[in-house]
Amino acid sequence: MARGIKDKVAILGMGCSKFGERWDSGAEELMLEAYKECIADAGIDAKQINAAWFSTAIDEVHVGKSGIPLSTTLRLPNIPVTHVENMCASGTEAFRGACYAVASGAADFALALGVEKLKDTGYGGLPGGRGAPLQQLWNANGTAPGNFAQLATAYMTAHGVSADDLKKAIGHVSWKSHQNGAKNPKAHLQKAVDMETILKAPMIASPLGLFDCCGVSDGAAAAIVTTPEIAKSLGKSNIVSVKALQLSVSNGSESGHNSWDGSYFHTTRIASKKAYEEAGIKNPRNEVSMFEVHDCFSVTELVTMEDLHISETGKGWKDVLDGFYDADGKIPCQIDGGLKCFGHPIGASGLRMLYEMYLQFQGRAGARQLKDPRIGMTHNLGGAPRENVSSVAIVGRFE
Amino acid sequence: MVGIVAYGAYVPRLRLSRQAVYDANKWFAAGLRGLAKGERSMANWDEDSITMAVEASRDCLTSHKAEDVRNLYFASTTHPFKDRQNAGVIGTALNIEQNLLASDVGGSQKAGTSALIAGLNASKNGGGPALVAAADKRLTRVASANELNYGDGAAALLCGTENVIAKLVGHHSVSMDFVDHFRGDESDFDYNWEERWIRDEGYSKIVPPAIKAALAACKLKGADISHFIMPSLMPAVPKQMAKMCGVGEGAVRDLLGANLGDTGCAHALVMLVDALETAKEGDKIMVVAFGQGVDVLVLEVTAENARLPKRKGLSGWMKRRKEETNYMKFLAFNEMLPIDKGMRAEFDKKTALSILWRKRDMIYGLVGGKCRVCGTVQFPRTPVCVNPNCHAIDSQDPYNMAGLEANVMSFTADSLTYSPDPPAYYGMITFPEGGRFMADFTDSDKEQVKVGAKMRMTFRIRDNDQIRGGFKRYFWKAAPV
């Protein structure tokens, strides 16, 4: 294991736009909304930023390619801007780029900004298409709900969980996010929903119903990072530092080799294990105060909590039903509403999760403030259960 | 001795209730009432004459090796491509390219028999085994008699000189431009002339002399014929022709109209497969096909027929059946209903032909790879072995997976994605030999698709690029066994 970047990078400032169906805004306005909050929070001048990382996932429906859209929108002083795309992990990837630049000494101040403007397509759901030209010739005519629905099928099969039990557990996942989202003024969906409505919702891709799927939102989020020393020299207290950043990418074994049973995320198990090592965390179930994980679908969150080594494999559904991850549970998960309710503007999502952690550690989370959180983990999963990128970040108080 | 050495057939799973068609259209065409009984075969939205011919050919080749085929004839009046060899697509799907002469035969309801005669003659002259496939999926006007009378289906016959199950006794053809119906370049539909004229001036004057000439050439009498096969949209006509030629009434084969329908230029061969399934040694089969002239073939069944390894055949595919009473679905599947497909149906389906060429064994042949180092079977074949404990480079030999059964590992019924027949069923299928991929399912119902269900691979249309004039994208889908 490499030495890692634990406590080498501090978050100096963050910003996040209101998420939702932002008919009033293009990607440029959303970027600026997040950036204005971020730079004001950081308390530095734009000219001090040495380099920037810019994340989007489906830029073909909004800003297009390259670092130019960020540079021109913010009128950055001709600094390096790198455009990153790694599906739903894109936001965390922008953050990783910025952190590595600071940790290496290449930059004193680095900006990570992610945006997604999805609601200009004319139809609901994620913009479609079937990928690369060869993939179009043979990949199943699938959608994200259909791919993740199969995680549910395989999970039930692997662990002998009945369809009723699983439906209730994943229903609880969504119920919890709606409860939490109702307390978040920036969330896309701010309405609590009762269990009956969730369980009776129309089927999207069996067994996933409407409330098992996160919506499609517009939004942007940003972070400015520096070293803890510089942050202190700027008079910052309550410093939040980066403990670990890990990414694991499928190499085709799940999709092409019969050793995987479809019931778990191979990559998430690897990325989280490495992250705990990098952060020096021995017993995550006792040491981590909060999670923001990739609940693109309710079942994704349930299974992810096992693959992050918090719930026992095959037992996560029981923890969920026991309220272990509720706002008043042992480890709150998605206290900001998660992808389900805060929203999922893909390129911004990883940064949005970090934004919530940052607010919580600084005691600025308003009505949803947790009591004395110290360590938090974010998780993004891009792709499908059979082939994906899984990114994990651990952040916490700099002590 | 040249003759037929193997046979196969294919019938789509759906059977459209003729009563349902009539009920929808009787307000306009009450006269069709007499035809409103039984059912006709109905291709799924992802089937066309190529896919049906591939299935019939696979059925036929149950007992024989595809790579031995030297001539491939594909008879149809509904070839999906006007210029692009349709038979070549079938050849690629069967993984035969080298030493293969592939030809499309069309333009007439006797295209199937003409292809069979060509196949038999090619084999007779030392040309090696010839595969003759015939399939039709004809569009019909709403509320027409053809809509009720036609069916979709395919047959395939392998011609050769070894282990002949039905030897060629003789054949005779006449060609004359008698236009009983036509389908012009500018129409999707047949245009038919009056039946009484077709019967009196066409069949009655053209067919009997041809049959008599064939019998004379074979040194046979009409009474010698045990199976008289003659497709016709007028059920009385074959009996009338048989009688005029001294063929016994009991020899006239059923037209399969009750629950299949007339499968166009494939129908004479479909009926021949039907006959061969139960024919006994020494039976003499006469096949007559009418269409701007007439083809007559006489075959004699040998002892080998009883030894031919079992296959689905026509009876097997007929048994796989699902009644369809939704006439609207029939229209939509045939692109005859301007249904609101939604924006998700608008995604561009342009095919990179250069990629298709490089990957044709993968896409059309479902050929994967088998690692020489660790033995892992995988799909697709890639430069680095997928086995996490191997990862050998450039280590894979081609491995044909089309004939393998697979199991459903996980699946879903997706209502979000665009499918002509929602919800779209798809899932991860695994092959016991090794290998897996996320596959579209077809011919699937809620009751059949389960974790662990056994699936067979079937060659289907996955997309139709209508922007570019209807380029069909074919690939393999999984269907319940």
Q: Shortest Cα distance from A267 to chain B (angstroms)?
A: 13
* A278/A153 same-domain check: yes
Q: Which residues of B398-410 are buried (b: 16+ CB within 10 A; e: fewer)?
A: ebebbebebbbbb
Judging by DSSP bridges, how do beta strands B227-229 and A375-384 pair with one another?
unpaired
Q: For the residues of B342-354, what is the DSSP string, one character each? A: -GGGGS-----HH
> How far is CA A228 from each of CA A231, B189, B290, rounded to the nearest angstrom?
5, 77, 90
- Residue indicated by tokens 């918090």: A310
Q: Looking at the partner chain, which of B387, B412, B417 has a beta carbon nearest the beta carbon of A206? A: B412
pLDDT digits (tens, 9 = 90+) for B179-213: 999 999 999 999 999 999 999 999 999 999 999 99
* B323/B353 same-domain check: no
* A327/A308 same-domain check: yes
B425 touches chain A (CB under 8 A): no
Domain presence at residue A131: no
Domain presence at residue B380: no
Q: Are B372 and B396 in contact (CB under 8 A)?
A: yes
* B224/B358 same-domain check: no
* A170/A34 same-domain check: no
* B94/B193 same-domain check: yes
State the residue range of the domain holding A58: 10-119+218-233
Domain presence at residue B443: yes
Provide residues of A within 8 Å CB-CB of chain B.
Answer: 121-123, 125, 128-130, 133-134, 136-143, 145-147, 149-151, 153-154, 157, 203-206, 208, 251-253, 255-259, 261-262, 386
Domain presence at residue B371: no
pLDDT digits (tens, 9 = 90+) for B359-388: 999 999 999 999 999 999 999 999 999 999
Element (H, E) at A357: helix A346-361
Mean pLDDT for B14-23 is 98
Q: What is the pLDDT along chain A (399 residues), one digit of tens a residue?
A: 799 999 999 999 999 999 999 999 999 999 999 999 999 999 999 999 999 999 999 999 999 999 999 999 999 999 999 999 999 999 999 999 999 999 999 999 999 999 999 999 998 888 876 689 999 999 999 999 999 999 999 999 999 999 999 999 999 999 999 999 999 999 999 999 999 999 999 999 999 999 999 989 999 999 999 999 999 999 999 999 999 999 999 999 999 999 999 999 999 999 999 999 999 999 999 999 999 999 999 999 999 999 999 999 999 999 999 999 999 999 999 999 999 999 999 999 999 999 999 999 999 999 999 999 999 999 999 999 999 999 999 999 998
pLDDT digits (tens, 9 = 90+) for B68-88: 999 999 999 999 999 999 999
Strand partners for B425 = B413
- For A144-300, strand residue ranges (E) read 203-205, 208-209, 219-226, 240-249, 290-292
Mutate to test the interface with A, among B438, B442, B471 (most CBs of A within 10 A): B438
Q: Shortest Cα distance from A372 to chain B (angstroms)?
A: 42
The dihedrals phi and psi of A113, each to the nearest 5 degrees, come to -135, 130
Report how many domains make up chain A: 2
Domain presence at residue B396: no
What are B451's two structure tokens?
């974790």
Mean pLDDT for B210-231 is 98
Question: Does residue B222 surpass a pLDDT of 70?
Answer: yes
Mean pLDDT estimate for chain B: 97
Contact assignment for B428 to A206 by CB distance below 8 Å: no
Mutate to test the interface with A, among B374, B416, B430, B464 (most CBs of A within 10 A): B416
* B314/B350 same-domain check: no
* A389/A363 same-domain check: yes
Say what the pLDDT of residue A126 is: 86
Q: Are A9 and A225 in contact (CB under 8 A)?
A: yes
What are A385's two structure tokens?
């259960």
| Positions of A marked catalytic | 88, 344
Contact assignment for A138 to B419 by CB distance below 8 Å: no
State the residue range of the domain holding B287: 3-333
Check which CATH number belongs to the domain holding B164 and give it. 3.40.47.10
Say what the pLDDT of residue A382 is: 97
Residues 109..168 of B with a Cβ closer than 8 Å to A: which? Answer: none
- Among B311, B333, B355, the domain-final residue is B333
* B300/B353 same-domain check: no
* B90/B13 same-domain check: yes
pLDDT digits (tens, 9 = 90+) for B97-149: 999 999 999 999 999 999 999 999 999 989 999 999 999 999 999 999 999 99
Q: Which long-range contacts (CB under 8 A, 24 or more apart) does B190-194 make?
A: B190/B138, B190/B140, B190/B146, B192/B146
Q: Shortest Cα distance from A121 to chain B (angstroms)?
A: 9
* B291/B427 same-domain check: no
**Nearest Cα residue in chain A from B355:** A134
Say what the pLDDT of residue A131 is: 82
What are A82's two structure tokens?
């790198």
Check which CATH number belongs to the domain holding A223 and give it. 3.40.47.10
**Nearest Cα residue in chain A from B359:** A134
- Among the listed residues B383, B356, B379, B376, the one whose alpha carbon sits nearest the alpha carbon of residue B367: B379
* A181/A258 same-domain check: yes
Question: How many helices (H) does chain A have, and how many strands (E)?
Answer: 15, 11
* B352/B234 same-domain check: no
* A336/A188 same-domain check: yes
Report how many domains make up chain B: 2
* A296/A361 same-domain check: yes
Say what the pLDDT of residue A127 is: 85
* A193/A335 same-domain check: yes
Contact assignment for B430 to A206 by CB distance below 8 Å: no
Contact assignment for A153 to B412 by CB distance below 8 Å: yes
Q: Which residues contact B187 (CB under 8 A, 6 or more apart)?
A: none
Chain A hits for B435, Cβ within 8 Å: 256, 258
Say what the pLDDT of residue A27 is: 98
* B141/B231 same-domain check: yes
Q: For the residues of B59-70, what is the DSSP string, one character each? A: HHGGGS-GGG--
pLDDT digits (tens, 9 = 90+) for B247-256: 999 999 999 9
* A191/A269 same-domain check: yes
- Among B309, B333, B357, the domain-final residue is B333
Q: Are A381 and A388 in contact (CB under 8 A)?
A: yes
- Among A198, A233, A268, the domain-final residue is A233
Q: Shortest Cα distance from B337 to chain A (angstroms)?
A: 22
Domain presence at residue B96: yes
B168, amino acid identity: L
* B271/B361 same-domain check: no
* B323/B360 same-domain check: no
* A365/A292 same-domain check: yes
Say what the pLDDT of residue A1 is: 76
Domain presence at residue B372: no
Element (H, E) at B9: strand B3-10
Say what the pLDDT of residue A187 is: 97
pLDDT digits (tens, 9 = 90+) for B394-452: 999 999 999 999 999 999 999 999 999 999 999 999 999 999 999 999 999 999 999 99
- For B144-283, strand residue ranges (E) read 153-160, 166-175, 181-182, 191-192, 227-229
* A74/A105 same-domain check: yes
Q: Are A231 and A10 in contact (CB under 8 A)?
A: yes
- Among the listed residues B143, B51, B48, the one whose alpha carbon sits nearest the alpha carbon of residue B333: B48
Domain presence at residue B390: no
Domain presence at residue A4: no
Mutate to test the interface with A, among B428, B444, B477 (most CBs of A within 10 A): B428
Say what the pLDDT of residue A130 is: 67
* A255/A379 same-domain check: yes
Check which CATH number belongs to the domain holding B424 and give it. 2.40.50
Domain presence at residue A295: yes
Torsion, CA B346, CA B349, CA B350, CA B351, rounded to 10:
180
> What span, in angstroms and rounded, lies between the C-alpha atoms of B416 and A277?
40
Instruction: Say if residue A2 is exposed, middle or buried (CB neighbours under 10 Å; 0-12, 13-18, 19+).
Output: exposed
* B178/B228 same-domain check: yes
